Chain A
Amino acid sequence: MFDSLGDKFNNVFRYIRGTGKMSEKNIDEAVRSVKMALLEADVDYKVVKDFVADVKKRVIGQEVTKNILPEQQFVKIIHEELTEIMGKSNIDLTCANIGTTYLMVVGIQGSGKTTACGKLAFLLQSQKKKVLLVSTDIRRPAAITQLKILAKKANASFFDPEGEKDPCKIVKNVSEYVRHKDYDYVIFDTAGRLELDEPLMKELTQIKIILKPHEILFVADSMMGQSALKVARSFDENIGVDGVILNKLDGDTRGGVALSVKKVLGKPIKFMGLGEKLVDLEVFHPERLASRILGMGDVVSLVEKAKKTVGDKEAEYFEKKIRKANLDFDDFLRQLQYIKKMGSLKDILAMLPGANKLKNIPTDDKQMVHVEAMILSMTPYERQHPHMINPSRRKRIAKGSGCEVNQVNRLLKQFETMKKMMKKVTQGKSKDIMKNMMSRF
């Protein structure tokens, strides 16, 4: 995600690097490119206008510091401004001081409310909280059944409205029901409604008055265009929004909504949805997203994700191995399996710094299956001693894995290169590499 925006910025910086300094004219040019990139990313028109004006003011007012490339200054300014817009840091869910916390999830049709409720329940349950899911969506066919299925999958409790057709009555019944129960959270799913639908907006207000939720979460589809803020604002004006869940960020949307929402609504983005499965909900980190937009990668997220799937002990083991640069194919295989657990290769690459410059890299997960097959066709001895794999062994491996010999050759070559790279990184040359990498931004 955000690849194209990152590319756009990189073009601008290359341009400035080409001219060697920041003059009034090339600032205008650069700022205009930034503006177009942001508009193509669906950032709200007014937000873009203010953003561009702010950046320009800051860039022009700045002395060109010696020893710092102009583009680095530019990156710094844009990064700071982006982070500023998206909010400084992640803000937790509002909780009740004592007892049960009530959350209400709202949004237009198809933004992903029901799925988000399931994911949220899953996330809270994994934090050892006791969660009850309630659907007040009496409108969309089978919406209640959908939430019931998700509740079961998330290991959360589910409140059955038993055919009640009035959302307000459902809320009242739930209040009765939970009185002497020890739920930490009760999450209310609501029917999707368009911002212009007055009767349904009124219904939402009534639900809110009865429920008095601790937090109202607005679910936004990250693929939304310029109408996103009108929609968000309408919900905010009618019932008051406390936080935002930004959904469907696993596609190739540039997610300009993320930039707009905080700025115009003044409400923080708290979570982001990155897929259809229950685990695909992450806490939103504005600084990381700003870095991602700039093509600076999101290493922190990657490390966290790796820790979650790999576990600390394993991570330590690999760190040691990498430091000694004596990785063999057994380790490689294990890593592959972890990567598979972590999600698609493309998602992971999107988080690596500079990865947006590696064009033509195989992001097809099927290729990983081939690699796995090839390694599995090696004998344990071959896996530990890759240099022993001679042409006849290669032929056998190719046959065993159903691949071509040149695929096996490529794999061995890639593995060698990787090992060499690791040696460089671990033998004190890492500074040069880092410097080299940084100069690309």
Chain B
Amino acid sequence: MLNLMSRLKKSLQKTQSSLTQRMSHIVLKNTIDEDEIEELEEILITADMGVPITMELIDSVRAKVKASKDMTDDIYGFLRESLRTYLPDEWKETNKVKVLLVFGVNGSGKTTTIAKLAKKYKDEGRKVLLAAADTFRAAAVEQLRVWSKRLEIPMIEKADGADPSSVIYEALEGMKARGCDLLIIDTAGRLHTNKNLMDEMSKMKRTIAQHVSSSELRTQMILDATTGNNGLMQARQFDKTIGIDELILAKFDSSAKGGFIFSIARELKLPVKYLGIGEGVDDLLPFSRDDFIEALFER
């Protein structure tokens, strides 16, 4: 765990050192000038925090500096606290979950993340079954099949172009016979603006609801950490269509900072469960709110 934490910090630090340097002088005086406001704006915007949150934070920093009597007041501490209020509380794992429905826009990293999740649950002693419900993209089934073989986890598949819900139906029916207690479903990438594909997604959820109770299903949306403000629009639409239980932020080992999760948390109150930090099957890091923010403001 310590090892994972240091990996997270390492991946964040490369951009954070500049942040600390640039902001440390603000606390030494009781005023904040327009250049400094602009600097703060740049830091927050380039972290993909989005305009509304950036403006909110800047306003509160302005007010804070103005009201501050104590020269040692800590702007970081203040920002850290403010950011914490955006993210929901820590999320608790329950053992009830029987079905994981994984979705997201094209190229967000669904299949790779599913391999990581499957490995994790297998290691925890769960009997995992994979369902290849991406019957649209060329070779998507083959991609999951390679993982299925590597991880020695069984997989349900149908011919290309089959109705994804029928794949899911078959997998749900086959779970018991195979002695599996966790089904992980890979779905085709779809843009949230494509109504037909979103309808297809609702149908998949209905199929699942006929087999398991809502507490046994967990819906996970994969978001690409390099996304900008569109991340919120994606989450908004998927949440509206099928309801998101939790988010997974993939490609966090890039130089992107994934600040858009604050906008999503603010509007939709959705927690981030994991960070994807590489292409290896173990490169999945449990998300912790405090560590995430702490690492952002590491001195």
Contacts and interface: CB of A to CB of B under 8 A. Distances in A.
A226 interface: yes
Interface footprint category on B: 35 or more
Interface in B6-31: 14
Contact of A251 (B14, B109, B191, B253): B191
Given A196-B254, A226-B45, A227-B48, A42 B109 contact: no
A238 B143 CA distance: 29
Contact of B107 (A142, A148, A221, A225): A221
A interface, by DSSP: helix, strand, loop or mixed? loop
B271 interface: no
A109 B105 CA distance: 13
Given A140-B143, A145-B142, A231-B226, A195 B191 contact: no
Contacts of A223: 105, 224, 227-228, 230-231, 234
A142 B251 contact: no
Interface string B119-145: 000000000000000001111101111
A300 B188 CA distance: 33
Nearest to A366: B195
A64 interface: no
A221 B191 contact: no
Interface string B41-64: 010011110110000000000000
A110 B230 contact: no
Given A225-B48, A251-B192, A42 B146 contact: no
A163 interface: no
Interface in B231-262: 231, 233-234, 251, 253-257, 260
A228 interface: yes
Given A141-B146, A225-B226, A225-B229, A250 B255 contact: no
22 contacts: A42-B48, A45-B42, A45-B45, A108-B254, A109-B109, A109-B251, A110-B251, A140-B143, A141-B111, A141-B142, A142-B140, A146-B137, A146-B140, A223-B228, A223-B231, A226-B47, A251-B191, A252-B192, A252-B193, A252-B230, A254-B230, A276-B106
B22 to A, nearest CB: 14
Contacts of B165: none
B258 to A, nearest CB: 9
Contacts of B146: 141-142
B139 A364 contact: no
Interface string A108-134: 111110000010000000000000000
Interface residues of A, number: 46
A306 interface: no
Interface in A185-216: 194-196
Contact of A195 (B47, B196, B254): B254
B279 interface: yes
Interface string A262-277: 0000000000000010
Contacts of A142: 139-140, 142-143, 145-146
A385 interface: no
A221 B193 CA distance: 16
A125 B155 CA distance: 37
Contacts of B107: 109-112, 221, 248
Nearest to B256: A227
A150 B138 contact: yes
A194 B191 contact: no
B147 interface: yes
Given A36-B51, A110-B109, A364-B195, A196 B255 contact: yes
3 nearest A-B pairs in the assembled complex, by CB-CB distance: A225-B228, A110-B107, A141-B146
Given A195-B254, A225-B226, A230-B255, A110 B106 contact: yes
B187 interface: no
Contacts of A146: 137-140, 142-143
B108 interface: yes
B188 to A, nearest CB: 9
B42 to A, nearest CB: 6
Contacts of A342: none
B51 to A, nearest CB: 5
Contacts of B109: 109-110
A322 interface: no
B40 to A, nearest CB: 12
A227 B257 CA distance: 8
Contacts of B45: 39, 45, 226
Interface in A11-40: 36, 39-40
A101 interface: no
B254 A231 contact: yes
Contacts of B147: 141
B251 A108 contact: yes
Nearest to A193: B279
Given A145-B142, A195-B255, A196-B254, A253 B230 contact: yes
A193 B182 CA distance: 31
Interface in B247-289: 251, 253-257, 260, 279
A141 B146 CA distance: 6
Interface in A72-116: 108-112
Contacts of B256: 225-227
Given A108-B251, A223-B105, A40 B229 contact: yes
Interface string A143-156: 10110111001000
Interface centre among B111, B112, B142, B229 (most CB of A within 10 A): B229
Nearest to B228: A225
A227 B229 contact: no
Nearest to B252: A194
B138 A110 contact: no
A139 B231 CA distance: 27
B226 A149 contact: no
Interface string B193-235: 1111000000000000000000000000000101111110110
A365 B195 contact: yes
Contacts of B144: 141
A39 B46 CA distance: 10
Contacts of A336: none
Contacts of A36: 51
Given A108-B254, A227-B254, A276-B137, A40 B142 contact: no
Given A110-B106, A227-B257, A45 B46 contact: yes
Contacts of A6: none
Given A45-B46, A194-B253, A256-B228, A143 B139 contact: yes
Contact of A139 (B48, B105, B257, B279): B279
Contacts of B254: 108, 194-196, 227, 231
Interface in B130-183: 136-140, 142-147
Interface in A37-71: 39-42, 45
